[in-house]
Amino acid sequence: MSRTYTGGVWWARTARATLRRVAALKIIARALLFSALILVTPAALLLAVVAETSRGSAAGYLALGWVATGVLAVAGWARAAVVGVVASTCGVAVLLFTVPPAEAPDGVIHSTPIPFRLSQLVPEIDQVKVGLALAPRVDRFIDPLQARRVARLVLPTYRTLGTEDRRSALAFGYDQVFGGKERTEHMYWTSTSTRTGGPALIFLHGSAGNFLAYPALLSRLDVPVVCPTSGFGLYLDRAATADTVARARRFAVETLGADPDRVFLAALSQGGQGATQVAHDDPSLRGVVLISAVVDEAAMAAWSGPDVLLLHGAMDRRISKSYAEAAVAALSTSTASVSARYWPTEDHFLLYAQPTEVVDAIRSWMAARD
């Protein structure tokens, strides 16, 4: 009897300890869920409010539905939470049918296939609107007034593109941010030129990803333009960047009919880091265009690359005019021709603010070397 009783006490103590652990795990799970709700709710609410496409609005309200379901779960209303999960899952399933195909539709901007990601539920124009609304809170270089100005500048371009019919390459940037590799197999391209054997331009995007607005703005050049995607746009791997540019160059020559000896390289913002590294190592490029760009200082100090055109906003707070002037000074000791133009009243978003002037400057500079 004593053994049986002792065993019963042990089982009772073990059961109570297990129940305490389960209760503690429930508290931790609820705390984590509550924290996630705090993070997700503002973005979901913002998307529901600012989205201008039906798919973007639906995605915002569905996200709020998941938030409500989480609140019910935290509150301990299990049945209501189950109903919420079922309803929200059905909503997501319906929304999945509206996601455009991997191939871009016919038009000015084409692309290699973009794989599916949940972010494709939200058209790029709505991702941009949410990003600009949040930017003043997460980026010390962007104030609310500037964010509203950028929205006024860039959104009309998206509205003419019909981005609800296209997948967004920004998904590759999200992959890298959340621990994935810098995927570089995707590229946008545009070619309104009918001649073959002419020049072409390869464009490296800046940080935050390969926005569809870039090839749309650069299509005014009337030469083949290839815009490869490099994940979030950090350009940390020199060899990978060189491979990306080489692949884009082959595409421009073999598919778009460009002259292999008349390929120019352009870059915006952080893309300048990759562009100056690649051009330093490969002087066969016809020229390099740097727009509001970061540069590789070691490459600039020992420049053996092609001619350089630097376009910069004098009011740029992220990459100052003095930084750009120092880059020009470093290049002055090389044999390359260096041209620089500064816009006195423009900032880091020069390409959006003055697309016609920027494109005209690039066109004239390329023509002088064609």
Rounded CA separation 138/142 (Å) = 9
The conformation of residue 341, written as its DSSP 8-state character, comes to E
* pLDDT bucket at 34, cuts 50 / 70 / 90: low
Query: What are the CA-CA distances from residue 273 to residues 120, 340, 362 (Å)?
Result: 29, 18, 19
Give pLDDT tens digits for 287-342.
Answer: 999 999 999 999 999 999 999 999 999 999 999 999 999 999 999 889 999 999 99
- The mean of the pLDDT values for the chain is 88
* pLDDT bucket at 46, cuts 50 / 70 / 90: very high
Structure-model confidence comparison of residues 106 and 129, the more confident one: 129
> Where does the chain show beta strands of DSSP type E?
110-111, 187-190, 200-204, 225-228, 263-268, 287-291, 307-313, 338-343
Distance of CA 31 to the CA centre of its chain: 32
Residue linked to tokens 């990003």: 131
- Residue 324: exposure state from Cβ atoms within 10 A (0-12, 13-18, ≥19): buried
The confidence score (pLDDT) of residue 126 equals: 96
Rounded CA separation 276/278 (Å) = 6
Rounded CA separation 73/79 (Å) = 9
The confidence score (pLDDT) of residue 53 equals: 93
The confidence score (pLDDT) of residue 105 equals: 63
pTM of the model: 0.88
The confidence score (pLDDT) of residue 231 equals: 92
Q: Does position 285 have pLDDT exceeding 80, yes or no?
A: yes
Q: What is the largest CA-CA distance in the chain?
A: 103
Structure-model confidence comparison of residues 67 and 143, the more confident one: 143
* pLDDT bucket at 1, cuts 50 / 70 / 90: very low
Q: Does position 262 have pLDDT exceeding 50, yes or no?
A: yes
